[in-house]
Amino acid sequence: MQGLLPEYEINPATWFYLSSLLTVGIFFKFHRPASIRNFDLLALIAFSPGLLWVSRGFREGYDWLFFLTILFLFRTLLDPLLIRRPLLEPNLNTSGLTFTTFALLAFLLGGLVSDRVPELAQVGVLDRAEVAQLRRPLLYQLGFIGSLPHEARASSSSAEANAEGENSSPGANMRGPELVLVRTLVVFTHLLTVLGLIYVGHLHFENIHTAMGMTALYLLLPYTVQMAARLDHFLPGAILLWAISCYRQPLLAGLLLGIGGWIVGYPFFLVPLWMSFYFRRGLVRFSLGLILSLGFTWLLVWLATTIAWIAGVADPGTTWGNWSHLLRWLVWKLPQADGFWAERIQAFRIPVVAAFVALAASYAIWPTHKNLGSLISCSATLLLGVQLWHPYQGGLYLGWYLPLLILTIFRPNLDDRLAISVVSETWLSPRTQLWLSAWLEDWGLWPLQRWWYRPKSREDERG
């Protein structure tokens, strides 16, 4: 971005004020000042001071983020009880929101290819030697790599260090291709999140105005801009967002939820909720997707290792090593804790974990009639609850639940989106069945459709 706009720079505090004013001007409902929508917007804006304190090294920032996480946890817990959900569209029209969304996206992606990394994204970041000594999962190590400065800054700091006879900075120890690969994954993750919000808003909420409003709010938040380079902050949220997007295809939803679980671990706590949602229809397909996710995740690790080997970053035999690093969340020990729990008695964390596990298990039977709305809000509740006991920078990983929280804030009444009414009885969706039937008839293979499709009889239609 520096090459396109010389001397372009907005510090985090300035962007906090600008984004807050834009958020209030676009989304605040001035004719209904006491609405829940306004409360949600102000609470989202309130995250920014805590992020600024964390970036300046103040431990009080984690306390503020912890408090707001509890606040939103109770908000999402009560969300299934909010039946009356009036349509509160953004104050800006669809054309203006579309322009704002793509302009913000261009600046966000432009910042990722520049050599400037915000201070907040570098909080807790270690150099490669320190990362190798710790039992941190692979996703967090990739997040560290993506938040290191670009080679322009690394080369200058290396030159200064050599002139003074000192060691170079951590960024100077990074090889260019590795950083480029991680930044490419980060760009792809942000594009997935933006497209997912538009997809859910347009297809499932049936309102393109709301869809562009959700996307604009996601890009306006200071957290998205400040932590844009951290792959570990945004990849799990993007995967879970697309699991929600594909909820009509249980096999694909289970596959995506399982991939998110194998990558970071915590999405597995959502399994009782999702299995209860598909209990009346689609449970077998969803369970099969969870099983297939193990092999599919291993295939993704092998593909990423192969690409890294072609780029000269990794060896071809490191696939199993990367896989074991990916699963380190299974044996992650507490002495590496940071953030809210770093300087507190660790025994107090045990009842928090117990309460969270009980909440995750209770979602198997509550709410009794689960629809798309309760699926979104309850998933956001569990991801919020993870931040209350997450050992590393607990409360700072807003990106894990931010897309689902935005969906919860903007969603209409979705009581009619039950699995038994929207999920196909067969393994293929009705649109896919029609396309495949037409293709088989064109090739004279129409008898094969008996293997996967049984048309309803008149008795079934009467019943």
- pLDDT truncated to tens, each residue of the chain (463 aa)? 555 555 556 778 888 889 999 999 999 999 988 899 999 999 999 999 999 898 888 888 899 999 999 999 999 999 998 888 888 899 999 999 999 999 999 988 888 876 566 666 666 555 444 444 445 566 666 666 666 654 434 443 444 444 444 443 333 344 466 777 788 889 999 999 999 999 999 999 999 999 999 999 999 999 998 888 888 899 999 999 999 999 999 999 999 999 999 888 899 999 999 999 999 999 999 999 999 998 988 888 777 777 766 655 555 556 666 666 666 655 445 455 677 887 777 778 889 999 999 999 999 998 888 999 999 999 999 999 999 988 778 888 999 999 999 999 999 999 999 999 999 887 766 667 677 777 666 666 655 555 555 554 444 444 4
pLDDT at position 144, please? 63
pLDDT at position 398, please? 94
pLDDT at position 229, please? 85
CB 241 within 8 A of CB 193: yes
- Domain edges within the chain: 12-423, 433-458
CA distance 52 to 222: 10
The model's pTM = 0.85
pLDDT at position 282, please? 92
